[in-house]
Amino acid sequence: MTHGTTDERTAIRLDRIRKSYPGQTRAAVEDLSLEIPEGRIVVFVGPSGCGKTTTMKLINRLIEPTSGRIHLDGTDVTEMPAHQLRRRIGYAIQQTGLFPHRTVADNIATVPKMLGWNKARVTARVDELLQLVGLEPGTFRARYPKQLSGGQQQRVGVARALGGDPQVLLMDEPFGAIDPLNREALQNEFLRIQSQVRKTIVFVTHDIDEAVRMGDRIALFSQGGRVAQYDTPENILAEPADGYVADFIGAGASVRRLSLLLLGELAVPDWPVIGQSADDAEVAAAAARCARDRLLVLDADRRPTSWVPLFGPDRERGEKLPVQGSMGPRDSLFDALDHMLSTNTSVVAVVDEEGRHRGALEMDSVRSLINTAGRREPSGPPQEV
């Protein structure tokens, strides 16, 4: 079965690929057919030894398939000289693989120099890439890898992989050695870069959270390079294809799914509001019409400022309660829940891109949004941050 995509252009097509290493009783990749869409991030995820790295190395022919064909942009590249192919494909790996005795600039310049670019063009490209990955060229150009933090080295690794402006970027556990906090920052940074460069990216990880965060699409591998499910993160979490996938994504799947449900894409319930200058009579009239335990106060620009409690001790004290931060369109249901729990409030205001009132969420409405959020089609827009 080909694990394909719907209406997108296919950048890479693996056609019945098999790879047996010498002396292996079972092939590392038995019979894999897979289409990778252009300009998206496809994440290979799965347990150790299931053939993720082998598949990735087959794409840029660091290793040769035992049988099967590989197509890049519709052209069969299985017989193309490997060095020619690799210029079109950037490669970034864990531990960065930077040359220790070369400066940051020299490392990033590797492919541009190989391509025969002149000095001025190479220098301009190095600086452009350093800027792109958030490293100030003046500070970092002349440093050596050991003079950088792990995260900075990883950024240089990404910059180097992008050096010759390849169509395709292969990334093998690029953030594997980074601590969780910096790792999340690097992931976000990388998604920001991708929203600018729009490369076709194959990203290997064994971490399902990283796969969900990074992937436009996830290929979940099982032993022998089999793809157990190839789908959007949303669909894999919501509808695992079988018991193997369900086990791999584990018990945290519903929580992970929450983080994919963005408020901007959901129907947020309205909430009764009053203006900032409302007097007691207006508040009383609004309260009489209101089935909630509080009214939301908006300023003249319709931005939420505070809550007026209608019941309980807060009401008796006659105090307004501060809004304590509202949720925007790019916040997720997970963020909304987290906010409620960490601020110990039962309701959170939701605003639009400009910070204006959209509605509000309570636990009950979060629950019903989770239940009604349907499947999303795999052909959704590329992930942006």
Ligand X SMILES: Nc1ncnc2c1ncn2[C@@H]1O[C@H](COP(=O)(O)OP(=O)(O)OP(=O)(O)O)[C@@H](O)[C@H]1O
Give CA–CA dist 87/114, Å, rounded: 9
Min separation Cβ 50 and ligand X, Å: 4
**Applying CB under 6 A, does 52 fall inside the site for ligand X?**
yes
Q: Residue 28 Cβ, how far from ligand X at the closest point, in Å? A: 3
Q: How far is the CB of 51 from ligand X (least distance, A)?
A: 4
Interface pick for ligand X out of 25, 48, 118, 344 (rule CB under 6 A): 48
Q: Residue 234 belongs to what H/E stretch?
A: helix 233-238
Question: Are 53 and 94 within 8 A, CB to CB?
Answer: no
User: How are beta strands 321-322 and 75-76 bridged, if at all?
Assistant: unpaired
Out of 11, 14, 54, 162, point to the residue binding ligand X (CB under 6 A). 54
> Measured from the CB atom, is 56 or 72 closer to ligand X?
56
Binding mask 188-227 for ligand X (x = CB under 6 A): ------------------x---------------------
Among 5, 43, 51, 107, binds ligand X (CB under 6 A): 51
Q: Indicate the residue among 226 and 302 with the shorter CB distance to ligand X.
A: 226
275 touching ligand X, by CB under 6 A: no
Q: Is 5 in the site for ligand X (CB under 6 A)?
A: no
- Contact by Cβ (8 Å): 131, 192: no
By CB under 6 A, residue 49 contacts ligand X: yes
Kindly list the distances between the CA atom of residue 78 and the CA atoms of 71, 82, 348, in Å, as whole numbers in the listed order: 7, 9, 55
CB of 183: closest distance to ligand X in angstroms?
17
Q: What DSSP state is assigned to residue 147?
A: G
Give the residue, chosen from 3, 12, 17, 53, that forms a contact with ligand X under the rule CB under 6 A.
Answer: 53
Residue with smaller CB distance to ligand X, 172 or 335 = 172
| Amino acid identity at 233 | P
Give whichever of 44 and 307 is closer to ligand X, judged by the CB atom.
Answer: 44
- Based on CB atoms, which residue is closest to ligand X, 53 or 229? 53
Rounded Cα–Cα distance for residues 292 and 310 (Å): 8
Q: How many CA atoms lie within 13 A of 276 on its CB side?
A: 10
* CB-nearer residue toward ligand X: 25 or 371: 25
User: Contact, 247 vs 208, CB < 8 A?
Assistant: no
Contact range with ligand X by CB under 6 A, out of 42-50, 149-157, 270-278, 320-328: 42-50
CB of 225 to ligand X, least distance (A): 8
Q: Does 24 bind ligand X (CB under 6 A)?
A: yes
In the chain the first and final C-alpha atoms are separated, in Å, by: 33
Chain residues binding ligand X by CB under 6 A are 21, 24, 28, 46, 48-54, 206
